[in-house]
Amino acid sequence: MAPPPPPSPSPQPMMMEPFFYRQPPPRSVHTRKVTAWNLRDELSRILSLMLRGFSFVAVDTQFPGIVHPHPRGAGITADDKYAAVKENADELCILQLGITLSDADGRLPVDRVHGALVEFMWEFDFAGFDACLHRHAPVSVEFLRSQGFNFEAARLVGVPATAFAAELAFSGILGLSGLTWVTFGGMYDVAFLLKLVTGGAPLPATRLDFLAQVGVLFGTQVFDGKHMASLLHMHGGLTAVGEMLRLPPPQLPRRHMAGQNSLMALQLFMELRRRFFDLGGSLDSCSLQIEGLV
């Protein structure tokens, strides 16, 4: 059954003061790059911050395009869409994982960089992809290159996917209770994250089995901001929905990279969360409701 919409939403986006930026916007958000050399240290840092109350975890992934087209037309079901996601995710390599943490008020962790206090997020670059050997969409690969993704460096010093799975298990992060996982348009983000933590195993055969396994590994607090926005009659990508919510853009040059996308996904979720609460609604009906798979 589809989740009930929150009570009496307006057909037009409501103009409300943004939640995330009640304090002045941060002067800078630093990207912590993660490679094979610092993987264990950075996962340890993430665990430590989670234990200190930074329990909201926004994720985004980059991968080398879609090589198996999604079905289109009338009568396409969520199961049909999942079959295409599975076919692509099972075959393709992940290139990058972005993670942004925050506390319940949307505050990011802070560190000192070159003498200045800055907030920060993470970008994990993965080894294993070679355009000469692996399936990919050339247009997608060239686009990511234009955005600054260094394919050559990733091959040399990126994180092997199997090493990420092993170190994540060693860190104890997946055993933590009380985490809230956030995506935006997260079909592929959740699919590749599940593939990562299971050591590259094929995704479950069915959509319902997929969602059940996500619930087992990540808990029931898994949200897709794109689905939440659609319940408030807001549609579009990260930038479009952010503009509808009147959120200032991050104080960063706009790049289509996983770290920055995870930051934007977190900001949107925090504002959508506030609006659901202001409407007297609950987020329970949105949990494990991944846009495109419901």
Give pLDDT, residue 251: 66
Closest CA to 67 of 5, 140, 15: 140
Model pLDDT for residues 172-185, shown as the tens digit of each residue: 999 899 999 999 99
User: pTM higher than 0.95 for the full model?
Assistant: no
Cβ-contact 291, 211 below 8 angstroms: no
**pLDDT averaged over the chain?**
89
Give pLDDT, residue 1: 45
Kindly list the structural domains of the chain, giving each domain's residue range(s) and its CATH number in brackets, ordered by start. Answer: 29-286 (3.30.420.10)
3-class DSSP state for residue 18? Answer: coil
CA–CA gap between residue 166 and residue 152 (Å, rounded): 24
CA–CA gap between residue 270 and residue 264 (Å, rounded): 10
Q: What angle do CA 90, 181, 129 make, to 5 degrees?
A: 30
Cβ-contact 180, 223 below 8 angstroms: yes
**pLDDT > 60? residue 23:** no
Of the two residues 14 and 152, the one the predictor is more confident about is 152
Q: What angle do CA 14, 17, 21 make, to 5 degrees?
A: 135
Model pLDDT for residues 161-171, shown as the tens digit of each residue: 999 999 999 99
- Taking only Cα atoms into account, the Rg of the chain, rounded to an integer number of angstroms, comes to 18
Alpha helices, DSSP H, located in 107-257: 138-146, 151-157, 161-171, 187-197, 207-218, 225-231, 238-244
In DSSP terms, which residues pair with 97 in a beta bridge?
A: 61, 124
Torsion of CA 125, 127, 130, 134, to 10 degrees: -100
